[in-house]
C-alpha cells in the first residue's frame, strides 16, 4: 500500500470553474479584428477545453476563414495577452467546489490541476479565484516537455507527470474532468475518473464511460469513496 497521500487531480475549464465567458469574450475580440462574426456563448461552450490554439482554430472554422500555422501562432500570443488581462472578469468557481476540496484536504488528500490551458494563465486564474494555494501542482499544456514538444491531454503522460510533480501515486489518484479529453486521459493512464456533467462537451460525458458521473460538487466525496472502496475490494 502506498505511503503517499491520496491525490485528486482536476481539470480546470468546465470542471473547477465556469470560464467560457472570458474565453469566448477573448476569442470574439480576435474574430472582430479579423472581420469575422462573433461566437455565441452557447455555441462557444463546446469549443472550449482543448487549449487556446484549438479555440482559435474552431472560431475561424466556424467563420469559414482560412488560418495557416504562422497566423495561428501570432493570434495565439495575442489571445493570451488579451485573456490574461481579463482573466476572471466573468469566470467563477462552480458551486460547492471549494467546500468539497477543503473536505478532501482535511481528510489528508493532496490536490493538483491538469489542464490544457497554458500554465501561467492557469495559475493566474486560480489565484484570482482564491484557490491556487490549495493545489500541490498546477500543470498546463506547456508544463511537461518531451523532445522539445509539449505533452498535453489526452496523452497519459500529462496526467502521470502531474501526479509525480504533486507527490502522488497513480495507485491512489483519482481524476476529475468534464470532457472526453479528460476521460480519455485518465483511461490512457489507467486512473479512475469522475466526470462532471455541467462542463464543456457537446456529448454527455456518460457516453465516454467514466467511472462515476456527478452533477454537483456536493456529490464528489461519495463518488471518490465509491472508487476507493472498489479499489480496496475489487471483487466486491
Which residues are known catalytic residues? 11
CA atoms of 52 and 144, how far apart (whole Å): 17
Distances (CA, A) of 81 to 87, 92, 97: 10, 20, 28
Q: Which of the 8 DSSP states describes residue 171?
A: G
Cα angle: 8, vertex 132, 219; to 5 degrees: 40
Cell of 8: 485528486
Given a contact cutoff of 8 angstroms between Cβ atoms, the answer to whether 121 and 84 are in contact is yes
Cα angle: 216, vertex 219, 225; to 5 degrees: 150
Strand partners, 194: 176, 212
Given a contact cutoff of 8 angstroms between Cβ atoms, the answer to whether 173 and 9 are in contact is yes
CA 116 to chain centre: 6
Tracing cell 488581462 back to the chain, one arrives at 85
Amino acid at each position: 500500500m502506498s505511503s503517499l497521500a491520496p491525490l485528486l487531480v482536476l481539470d480546470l475549464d468546465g470542471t473547477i470553474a465556469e470560464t467560457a465567458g472570458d474565453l469566448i469574450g477573448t476569442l470574439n475580440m480576435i474574430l472582430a479584428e479579423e472581420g469575422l462574426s462573433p461566437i455565441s456563448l452557447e455555441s462557444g461552450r463546446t469549443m472550449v477545453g482543448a487549449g487556446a490554439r484549438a479555440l482559435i482554430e474552431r472560431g475561424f472554422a466556424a467563420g469559414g476563414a482560412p488560418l495557416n500555422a504562422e497566423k495561428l501562432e501570432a493570434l495565439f500570443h495575442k489571445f493570451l495577452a488579451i485573456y490574461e488581462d481579463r482573466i476572471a472578469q466573468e469566470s467563477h468557481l462552480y458551486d460547492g467546489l471549494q467546500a468539497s476540496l477543503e473536505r478532501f484536504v482535511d481528510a489528508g488528500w493532496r490536490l493538483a490541476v491538469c489542464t490544457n490551458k497554458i500554465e501561467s494563465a492557469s495559475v493566474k486564474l486560480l489565484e484570482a479565484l482564491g484557490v491556487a494555494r490549495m493545489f500541490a501542482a498546477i500543470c498546463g499544456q506547456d508544463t511537461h516537455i518531451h523532445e522539445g514538444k509539449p505533452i498535453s491531454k489526452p496523452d497519459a503522460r500529462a496526467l502521470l507527470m502531474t501526479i509525480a510533480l504533486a507527490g502522488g501515486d497513480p495507485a491512489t489518484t483519482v481524476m476529475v474532468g468534464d470532457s472526453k479529453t479528460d476521460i480519455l486521459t485518465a483511461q490512457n493512464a489507467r486512473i479512475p475518473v469522475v466526470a462532471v456533467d455541467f462542463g464543456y462537451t457537446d456529448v454527455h460525458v456518460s457516453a465516454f464511460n467514466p467511472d462515476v458521473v456527478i452533477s454537483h460538487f456536493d456529490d464528489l466525496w461519495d463518488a471518490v469513496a465509491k472508487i476507493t472502496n472498489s479499489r480496496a475490494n475489487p471483487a466486491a
